[in-house]
């Protein structure tokens, strides 16, 4: 039967019977059935009854240019007719080579090599393993610890959970995880950047000989509730890691690909040379524009050279069957084409329209700490009830808006399809939804 002809209760029932939905307590899902989607077009998603919803969170932050984007579709289709897949072990192909070259060039060659994974968590696993293994290859086996920021989120595999500090994801699996060091995260709401740096500096002074790397989500900690900090913090973090001989891993899985206004969030630090970049920079989510799973780990020449040997045990033996898949790389190259053609300037214009449209809501007495980086907006609702996130999500759907607050933090991370009328409509719809639930 064609899914487009199904009524939503039937499709929801079939889904609940057989699909184990992510980040979902299935007993509760039975009372709040999943939204049955039939198609997507531009910023809109349409359910099986024809109702539409503006995808204000880019379907978990992956969709850059809207659903069913013609350019991305054409790039994938063209690649499908030539080479859909080939293993990357002992083989190579033009899309993966071109993608690696272009991403490395965007760092000015500071990050000279690209490894490929399937998703954000696998990118984190690759970076953790490469960091530890590089130090071991250099004869520094004691450097095996990792430092993460409080509230940080880096994925849900066992390695990634070991450097994640979000209790609901981590606690059940805590007995299986390696121990990592947690330090205070910088938060512009608290004005604590100097204190956070001092705490980290003290830890590095004590433990550097036993530490492999520090992980950071540059400028915005997403799952923590869009906690933001300044580029200065990142520059100081780079200085501290360099001074103590500890790798720096920049997890740009959520904030890369233009979300903060520049292709790399790290670029806001205005790096003057290779020493100003992190040792690893991770991309996923938006790298294929919400079409196919892919992640990339960019690393320095020094890290790469630590593995250079005729000894197989010194090599980086990490892969999966779809590593560097040509279809995904073709989509990623099409994303880079947009940025080569001036997407950052378009993002800046759209960010301004969003800022202007949401200015009245930012002055609402129910709202605290309105904040924005690029086209990413967030605000807190301190007086909201405990079930605010679910109530806001459901109320927003009645206003043609798909949005998922994090606790009492409402955020928007829309596709790069904002116009002044859309920005105004979004601000009005979010305000009306807030009126419905608070």
Strand partners, 148: 182
pLDDT at 5: 43
- Crossing angle of helices 388-397/420-437, nearest 10°? 130
Residues 6+ positions from 173 with CB-CB distance below 8 Å: 158, 161
Any idea which architecture 73-340 has in CATH?
A: 3-Layer(aba) Sandwich (3.40)
Q: What values do phi and psi take at 347, rounded to 5?
A: -65, -40
Cα(255)–Cα(222) distance, integer angstroms: 8
Place of tokens 């889904």: 15
Cα(431)–Cα(426) distance, integer angstroms: 8
pLDDT at 6: 44
- Indicate the domain borders of the chain: 73-340, 343-438
Helix boundaries (H) for 110-230:
120-137, 158-161, 167-170, 193-207
Cα(18)–Cα(20) distance, integer angstroms: 7
What Å distances lie between residue 58 and 239, 399, 413, CA to CA? 34, 17, 6
Quick check: do 73-340 and 343-438 share a fold? no
pLDDT at 129: 98
pLDDT at 4: 42
The per-residue pLDDT string of the chain (438 residues; one tens digit each, 9 = 90 and over) reads 334 444 446 888 889 889 999 888 888 887 888 899 999 999 999 998 899 999 999 999 999 999 999 999 999 999 999 999 999 999 999 999 999 999 999 999 999 999 999 999 999 999 999 999 999 999 999 999 999 999 999 999 999 999 999 999 999 999 999 999 999 999 999 999 999 999 999 999 999 999 999 999 999 999 999 999 999 999 999 999 999 999 999 999 999 999 999 999 999 999 999 999 999 999 999 999 999 999 999 999 999 999 999 999 999 999 999 999 999 999 999 999 999 999 999 999 999 999 999 999 999 999 999 999 999 999 999 999 999 999 999 999 999 999 999 999 999 999 999 999 999 999 999 999 999 999
Say how many Å lie between the first and final Cα of the chain, rounded: 42
CATH class entry, domain 343-438: alpha beta
Residues 6+ positions from 259 with CB-CB distance below 8 Å: 61, 220, 265, 286, 373, 374, 375, 376, 413
pTM: 0.95
Cα(216)–Cα(69) distance, integer angstroms: 31
Cα(297)–Cα(281) distance, integer angstroms: 6
Q: Is residue 134 left, alpha or beta, with left meaning phi > 0 and alpha meaning psi from -120 to 50?
A: alpha
Cα(378)–Cα(372) distance, integer angstroms: 6
3-class SS at 345?
helix
Q: Contact 281/250 with Cβ under 8 angstroms?
A: yes
């Amino acid at each position: 039967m064609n899914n487009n002809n199904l009524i939503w209760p039937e499709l929801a029932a079939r889904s609940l019977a057989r699909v184990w939905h992510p980040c979902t307590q299935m007993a509760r899902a039975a009372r709040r059935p999943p939204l049955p989607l039939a198609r997507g077009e531009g910023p809109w998603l349409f359910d099986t009854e024809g109702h539409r919803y503006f995808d204000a969170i880019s379907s978990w932050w992956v969709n850059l240019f809207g659903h069913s984007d013609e350019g991305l579709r054409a790039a994938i289709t063209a690649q499908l007719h030539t080479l859909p897949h080939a293993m990357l072990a002992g083989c190579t192909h033009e899309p993966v080579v071109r993608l690696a070259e272009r991403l490395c060039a965007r760092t000015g060659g500071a990050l000279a090599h690209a490894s490929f994974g399937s998703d954000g968590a696998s990118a984190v696993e690759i970076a953790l393993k490469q960091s530890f293994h590089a130090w071991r290859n250099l004869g520094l086996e004691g450097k095996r610890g990792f430092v993460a920021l409080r509230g940080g989120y880096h994925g849900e595999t066992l390695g990634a959970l070991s450097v994640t500090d979000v209790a609901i994801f981590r606690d059940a699996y805590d007995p299986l995880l390696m121990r990592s060091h947690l330090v205070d995260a910088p938060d512009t709401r608290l004005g604590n950047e100097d204190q956070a740096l001092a705490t980290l500096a003290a830890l590095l002074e004590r433990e550097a000989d036993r530490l492999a790397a520090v992980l950071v989500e540059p400028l915005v900690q997403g799952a923590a509730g869009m906690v933001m900090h300044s580029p200065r913090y990142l520059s100081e973090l780079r200085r501290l890691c360099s001074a103590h001989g500890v790798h720096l891993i920049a997890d740009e899985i959520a904030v890369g690909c233009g979300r903060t206004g520049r292709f790399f969030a790290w670029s806001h630090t205005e790096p003057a040379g290779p020493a100003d970049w992190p040792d690893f920079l991770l991309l996923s989510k938006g790298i294929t524009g919400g079409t196919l799973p892919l992640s990339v780990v960019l690393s320095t020449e020094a890290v790469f050279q630590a593995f250079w040997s005729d000894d197989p045990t010194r090599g980086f033996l990490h892969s999966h069957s779809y590593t560097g898949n040509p279809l995904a790389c073709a989509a990623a190259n099409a994303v880079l084409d947009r940025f080569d053609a001036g997407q950052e300037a378009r993002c800046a214009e759209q960010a301004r329209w969003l800022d202007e449209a949401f200015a009245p809501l930012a002055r609402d007495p129910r709202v605290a700490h309105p904040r924005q980086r690029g086209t990413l907006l967030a605000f807190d609702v301190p007086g909201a009830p405990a079930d605010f996130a679910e109530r806001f999500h459901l109320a927003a759907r009645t206003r043609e808006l798909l949005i998922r607050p994090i606790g009492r933090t409402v955020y928007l991370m829309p596709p790069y399809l904002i116009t002044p009328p859309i920005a105004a409509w979004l601000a009005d719809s979010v305000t009306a939804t807030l009126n419905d639930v608070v």
